[in-house]
Structure 1
Amino acid sequence: MKKLIRGLLDFQRHTLPSYRATFARLAKGQSPDCLFISCSDSRVVPNLLVSTDPGDLFTVRNVGNLVPPAKPGGQPSADRGEAAAIEFSLGFLPIEDVVVCGHSSCGAMKAILAGGTVDGAPNLEQWLAHGTPSMKKLRESNSKVGEGLPDADRLSQLNVLEQLEHLKTYPIVRDRLAAGTLRLHGWWFDIGAAQVHAYRADLGRFVPIDETEGDRLLTSLSEEPPALRAVQ
């Protein structure tokens, strides 16, 4: 807590003056254009990774960056928190993109890989069950996703792709994709290298977002028609 308090005081003394206008504007409402779903891991800091300001990202963070799939009627199969965030952000905010971002050395993926049993943490154990489909893909898949990585990291990348599929079980996501007004993106953060990777469907694997890949992504976005293409 001492670090938090000192940090707050430092923010008030040195950072806040340059952000006063921003917060005065945000007090009237928010207009983020991206829903960013990531792990609660303290080493993953979305706003730092993408250099965004307050108001730029609508974030959902949980253990393992999991998205419980919806039932046929659109009701979530588990806790309603993630479902509520999806419905609110896509239905009431100008969201055009959804990013699911996993990361290396993920404790949730290691627990799932070890069988998903967590002694003394029944709620965590039940939550990690949403990673079962990802584990199944790891055992059965012959894809290039995560090729050469440790099993937990490969599972983490496959898990990102599985959560994108879970997102598509929500009616509002399906409707927005069909209308061409939403894009889905799979990202993965290599903590040790401080490098974000993006999933390339055409290559069937994650690639680093370096200058070359970043320019390619920016070009593809700028060439899109007003109605966005649905991508994954």
Structure 2
Amino acid sequence: MKKLIQGLLDFQRHGLPAYRATFARLAHGQSPDCLFIACSDSRVVPNLFVSTHPGDLFVMRNVGNMVPPSDSAGLSLSDRSEAAALEFSLLNLPVEDVVVCGHSGCGAMKAVLAGYNDQKTPNLSSWLDIGRPALAAMANTKVGEGLPPADRLSQLNVLQQLEHLRSYPLVRERLEAGTLRLHGWWFDIGHARVHVYRADLERFIPIDELEGERMLAELGAKSANDSNSSAA
């Protein structure tokens, strides 16, 4: 707590002047175009490694960066906080992209791998069930080959949560209309490097300069196509 208070005072003295105009503008509303789903792990700081500012990201964090699947009517089959954040961001914000970002050394994935089920923590044990389907996929895919088992499971869990997102009718409708994109990312803590899942390669690859430029070009091409479609 001491560190938090000292940090707050430091921000008020040195950081706030640079952001005063930003917060004054944000007081009237927010317009982030990306929902970023990340783990609660203290080492994973989305706004830091993607260099964003207040108002740029709508962030949802929980243990294991997970999203419970929905039934056919769009009602979450487990905890509804994540579904509420999904609905709010898609219906009330200009969100066009959803990123699910896992990470190396994830305690939730280590627990799933170990078959964690402790009666002293019934809520945690139940929550981890959302990630268990990814465990079954390990025997049938090459995703994450060569990584420690928990890190490999973490990458597979990202893909599993993307599938859970697709179970929501609201998400499927937007995907079919071409107004929403889903992205699977994975943060390597030790190297401070983000990897992206490439479906064409069936693996996660580092977002280096070359890959970053490719991704930007792809987004640019889509924007141009959307503009041409609207004009027509």
Moved more, 51-60 or 218-227: 218-227
The aligned residue for residue 230 of structure 2 is none
Q: Secondary structure at the match of 2:226?
A: coil
Aligned equivalents of 2:110, 2:117: Cα separation in 1 = 11
The aligned residue for residue 114 of structure 1 is 114
Could you tell me how far 1:120 is from its partner in structure 2?
1.7
The aligned residue for residue 65 of structure 1 is 65
The aligned residue for residue 173 of structure 2 is 175
Q: Secondary structure at the match of 1:38?
A: strand
2:80 corresponds to 1:80: yes
Any residues of structure 2 matched to 1:20-39 within 5 Å, and which?
A: 20-39=20-39
Checking the alignment, whether the CA contact within 8 Å between 1:116 and 1:129 is kept in structure 2 is no
The aligned residue for residue 98 of structure 1 is 98
Q: TM-score, normalised by structure 1?
A: 0.95
Cα RMSD of the aligned pairs, angstroms, is 0.9
Aligned residue identity for 1:23: F
Instruction: State which of 158, 165, 185 in structure 1 corresponds to 2:183.
Output: 185
Checking the alignment, whether the CA contact within 8 Å between 1:111 and 1:118 is kept in structure 2 is no
2:147 corresponds to 1:149: yes
After superposition, give the CA deviation of every residue in 1:23-65 in whole Å (9 maximum; x if it has no partner): 0100000000000000000000000010000000000000000
After superposition, give the CA deviation of every residue in 1:59-99 in whole Å (9 maximum; x if it has no partner): 00000001000011211001110000000001110001000
The aligned residue for residue 230 of structure 1 is none
2:215 corresponds to 1:217: yes
Could you tell me how far 1:144 is from its partner in structure 2?
2.4
The aligned residue for residue 43 of structure 1 is 43
Q: Secondary structure at the match of 2:120?
A: coil
Could you tell me how far 1:118 is from its partner in structure 2?
3.2
Could you tell me how far 1:226 is from its partner in structure 2?
1.8
Aligned equivalents of 1:74, 1:183: Cα separation in 2 = 19
The aligned residue for residue 55 of structure 1 is 55
The aligned residue for residue 198 of structure 1 is 196
Aligned equivalents of 1:25, 1:172: Cα separation in 2 = 30
The aligned residue for residue 3 of structure 1 is 3
Aligned equivalents of 2:142, 2:49: Cα separation in 1 = 25
Checking the alignment, whether the CA contact within 8 Å between 1:112 and 1:128 is kept in structure 2 is yes
Instruction: State which of 138, 163, 166 in structure 2 corresponds to 1:165.
Output: 163
Aligned equivalents of 1:189, 1:223: Cα separation in 2 = 26
Moved more, 109-118 or 3-12: 109-118
Q: List structure 1 runs of 4+ shifted beyond 2 angstroms.
A: none
Aligned equivalents of 2:93, 2:170: Cα separation in 1 = 13
Q: Which runs of 5+ in 1 are unaligned?
A: 228-232
Q: Which has the higher helix share?
A: 2
Q: Secondary structure at the match of 1:197?
A: strand
Aligned equivalents of 1:92, 1:177: Cα separation in 2 = 17
